[in-house]
Amino acid sequence: MIVFLDLEASSLGKHSYPIEVAWVFEDGRTTSYLIKPAAGWTDWDESAQAIHGIERETLLAEGTSHGVVAQQMLVALSGHALYASAPSWDGKWLSALLRAAGLPRHALRLQDSDDLLHETAREILAPHRPGAAIEREVANILALTEVRDDHVPAHRALPDAVAERDRWLAVRAAAQASLASRIPHG
């Protein structure tokens, strides 16, 4: 099953770590955790806090142990196709979480959700379009469903993961609508 995942972090620095993780399955099921920092996770950027709105004190008081979060992720997400809008950043933080829990850092792997969007539209259109026309139509669908410039990400893990799933659903719907609009009815 396809899963959209997002992490928020203490900063964008070299020693940053995950502070929140959420995922949403393609069927709409969601999970979200605030992550209590592991020993040694001390990096903190006030400007990052201003963006995501999560205070370090909140993580210490209300967060779930990083080890518990990592184990829950392995149980819930192993064997599924995991996608993120920023897989290099989210992958860095996912790796830090897994390592801190004593788990292999590549136990879960992220793929780029942009690749999924492209492939989704392509798979819907390919059986019904000539080869040369597919990429142009896929590009049009992706442009049509692109998040508007005035949309600001929530910079919270669950709303951002849900937004990725919503975009994927919009791409699917747009590709199906494009296909339906050009199939002769008779």
Read off the tokens for 55: 């205070």
- The reply to whether 88 and 144 lie within a common domain is no
- Using CA atoms, how far apart are residues 165 and 177, in angstroms rounded to an integer? 18
Name the pTM for this structure.
0.91
In terms of residue numbers, what domain contains 60? 2-111
Let me know if residue 149 belongs to a domain. Answer: yes
Let me know if residue 131 belongs to a domain. Answer: yes
**Overall number of domains in the chain:** 2
- The reply to whether 14 and 97 lie within a common domain is yes
Helix, strand or coil, per DSSP, at residue 154:
coil
Confidence of residue 148 (pLDDT cuts 50, 70, 90): low
Read off the tokens for 131: 């080869």
- Using CA atoms, how far apart are residues 97 and 149, in angstroms rounded to an integer? 32
Let me know if residue 186 belongs to a domain. Answer: no
- The reply to whether 102 and 124 lie within a common domain is no
CB 153 within 8 A of CB 160: yes
- The reply to whether 75 and 118 lie within a common domain is no
- The reply to whether 156 and 105 lie within a common domain is no
Q: Which domain-ending residue is among 111, 129, 155? A: 111
Residue 170 has pLDDT above 60, yes or no: yes
- The reply to whether 120 and 91 lie within a common domain is no
Helix (H) or strand (E) holding 7: strand 2-9
Cα–Cα distances (Å) from 37 to 5, 8, 58, in that order, read: 19, 13, 11
Q: Give pLDDT tens digits for 19-46.
A: 999 999 999 999 999 999 999 999 999 9
- The reply to whether 73 and 87 lie within a common domain is yes
Phi and psi torsions of 154, nearest 5°:
-70, -25
- The reply to whether 125 and 151 lie within a common domain is yes
Residue-level pLDDT at 141:
93
- The reply to whether 99 and 151 lie within a common domain is no
Share of the chain above pLDDT 70, in %: 94
- The reply to whether 119 and 173 lie within a common domain is yes
Helix (H) or strand (E) holding 27: none
